[in-house]
């Protein structure tokens, strides 16, 4: 337990995200008190702790920047550096991502590399020496940045279109997304689809009027295929935007059948997800999935020669050993899909696992699992092409998408690196307008809950 206090609570929540993974790696109870002040561009930080008698650590940074937002950003960064270095020394603990707490490490790496006015060092040195990111994670980020380069968006006139279908066969134990069990909410499905189609037609009008070119269409959820072939057909009829990449996140293997496949083929879908999460049937029961490993295999056989296929796997699911996870990775590699995405279990606040107190903080187990996946997948010809991090993930690690050469998902890169405008359709959709000159994103959100989306459409 770390009893943390700070002289000004302006950055309290952000700094708490850095302290939390240290707490999971120690049984000690210590205090950490932080005082800081900014005087004419000299930022002074003093940190004290009862770990050692009379322990005091002082840091001095120079801040030469204009604007309130930029000042706060730089102050917060220096506070994280100081707190990380102090805790790392006091507890003899090194975190794989050092003082970084953000969702998008690869985006930050590129921003530093491209901003020579603000940064005198290379992004490599900033990550390694200033942010204390481990050599292995810096290498991973640099590989991802390299793989992304040929497919990154270079035009502000190219957009993506996202379509949200918030229904699932069941609610997984680790999930807190806005999604509804389709059998229990059947009366909402058709009204929701009608509203979604109307919004898609409005999107089409905007795209035609503004002469926008669409890079990628992504139909996600939820589980879009859970609404059945007939209603999915209605939705996909209105998703023809001329995009070279067209993904349907089929997800649940038990929702994929010959009729669904025929509908997706008819409308020019190029990429689908068939997500086993694990190939351990006992675990599938625990996490609330209705399918079995055999269903994943059967669904994959239906789609493998018709679309590029992604498979999701999750490290640190309840009851799974390292050998269980390795077996799942081995099976996925043997099936040879175009993409494999490896997630570390994310303990979302509203999920059943979080509410029942499941502990997913075992760093050693999580690290061994993701390290094995990396070695196995890269040796089989896959390249890491996008990544993101979340709060409360197993081992404070990352989610990484792997792709065969030339098979990276454009939409995944665009949404993570935030250099593409996205028009989002459906409940909980968040559209993003990218200003290339200022490198700024403006967001506009739909109603979050499906019933509110229908009511206010």
What mean pLDDT value characterizes the chain? 92
pLDDT tens, residue by residue, 190-243: 999 999 999 999 999 999 999 999 999 999 988 999 999 999 999 999 999 999
385 pLDDT more than 90: yes
CATH number of the structural domain spanning residue 295: 3.20.20.70
Q: Which of 315, 280, 320 is nearest to 296 (CA)?
A: 280
65 occurs within a structural domain? yes
351 pLDDT more than 90: no
Cα–Cα dist 94/79, whole Å? 17
132 occurs within a structural domain? no
81 and 160 part of one domain: no
Residue 394's pLDDT band, with cuts at 50, 70 and 90, is: confident
Contacts of 346 (CB under 8 A, 6+ apart): 174, 390, 391, 392, 393, 394, 399
Burial class (CB in 10 A: 0-12, 13-18, 19+), 54: exposed
36 pLDDT more than 70: yes
Whether a cis peptide bond, with omega within 30° of 0, leads into 60 is: no
172 and 266 part of one domain: yes
pTM, entire model: 0.94
User: Measuring CA to CA, how many Å separate 89 from each of 36, 49, 59, 81, 82?
Assistant: 20, 12, 14, 12, 11
82 and 160 part of one domain: no
Q: What is the pLDDT of residue 3?
A: 93
Widest pairwise Cα distance in the chain? 72
The pair phi, psi for residue 39, each rounded to 5°, is -120, 105
Q: Domain range for residue 167? A: 152-451
319 pLDDT more than 60: yes
Mean pLDDT of 396-419: 96
Cα–Cα dist 425/199, whole Å? 6
Count: domains in the chain: 2
Q: What is the pLDDT of residue 357?
A: 56
Contacts of 116 (CB under 8 A, 6+ apart): none
pLDDT tens, residue by residue, 102-150: 899 999 999 999 887 778 899 999 999 999 999 999 999 999 999 999 9
Q: What is the pLDDT of residue 363?
A: 81
Q: What is the pLDDT of residue 124?
A: 97
Q: Among 34-43, 102-111, 376-385, which range has the highest average pLDDT?
A: 376-385
Cα–Cα dist 306/405, whole Å? 18
CATH number of the structural domain spanning residue 61: 3.30.160.100
104 occurs within a structural domain? no
């Amino acid at each position: 337990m770390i009893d943390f206090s700070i002289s000004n609570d302006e950055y309290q929540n952000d700094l708490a995200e850095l302290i939390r993974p240290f707490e999971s790696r120690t049984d000690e109870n210590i205090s950490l008190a932080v005082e800081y002040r900014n005087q004419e561009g000299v930022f002074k930080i003093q940190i004290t702790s009862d770990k050692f008698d009379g322990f005091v650590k002082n840091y001095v940074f120079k801040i030469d920047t204009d604007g309130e937002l930029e000042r706060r950003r730089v102050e917060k960064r220096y506070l994280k550096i100081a707190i990380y270095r102090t805790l790392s020394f006091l507890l003899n603990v090194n975190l794989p991502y050092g003082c970084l707490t953000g969702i998008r490490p690869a985006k930050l790496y590129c921003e530093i590399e491209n901003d020579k006015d603000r940064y005198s060092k290379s992004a490599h040195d900033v990550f390694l020496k200033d942010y204390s990111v481990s050599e292995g994670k810096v290498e991973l980020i640099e590989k991802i940045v390299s793989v992304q380069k040929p497919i990154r968006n270079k035009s502000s006139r190219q957009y993506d279109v996202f379509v949200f279908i918030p229904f699932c066969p069941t609610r997984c134990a680790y999930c807190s997304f806005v999604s509804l069990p389709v059998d229990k909410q059947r009366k909402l499905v058709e009204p929701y689809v009608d509203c979604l189609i109307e919004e898609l037609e409005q999107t089409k009008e905007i795209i035609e009027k503004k002469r926008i070119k669409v890079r990628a269409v992504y139909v996600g959820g939820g589980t879009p295929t859970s609404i059945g072939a007939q209603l999915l057909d209605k939705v996909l009829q209105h998703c023809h935007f001329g995009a070279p990449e067209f993904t349907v996140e089929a997800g649940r293997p038990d929702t994929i059948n010959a009729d669904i496949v025929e509908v997706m083929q008819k409308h020019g879908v190029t990429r689908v997800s068939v997500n086993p999460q694990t190939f351990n049937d006992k675990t599938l029961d625990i996490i609330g999935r209705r399918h079995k490993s055999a269903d994943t295999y059967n669904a994959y056989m239906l789609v493998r020669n018709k679309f590029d296929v992604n498979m999701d796997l999750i490290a640190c699911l309840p009851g799974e050993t390292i050998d269980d996870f390795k077996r799942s990775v081995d099976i996925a590699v043997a099936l040879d899909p175009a993409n494999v995405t490896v997630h570390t279990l994310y303990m979302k606040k509203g999920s059943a696992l979080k509410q029942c107190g499941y502990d997913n903080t075992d760093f050693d187990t999580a690290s061994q699992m993701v390290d094995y996946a990396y070695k196995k997948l890269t040796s089989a010809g896959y390249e890491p092409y996008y990544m993101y991090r979340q709060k409360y993930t197993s081992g404070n690690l990352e989610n990484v998408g792997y792709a065969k050469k030339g098979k990276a998902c454009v939409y995944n890169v665009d949404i993570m690196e935030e250099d593409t405008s996205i028009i989002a359709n459906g409940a909980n959709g968040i559209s993003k307008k990218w200003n290339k000159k200022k490198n700024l994103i403006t967001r506009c959100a739909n109603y979050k809950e499906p019933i509110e989306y229908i009511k206010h459409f």
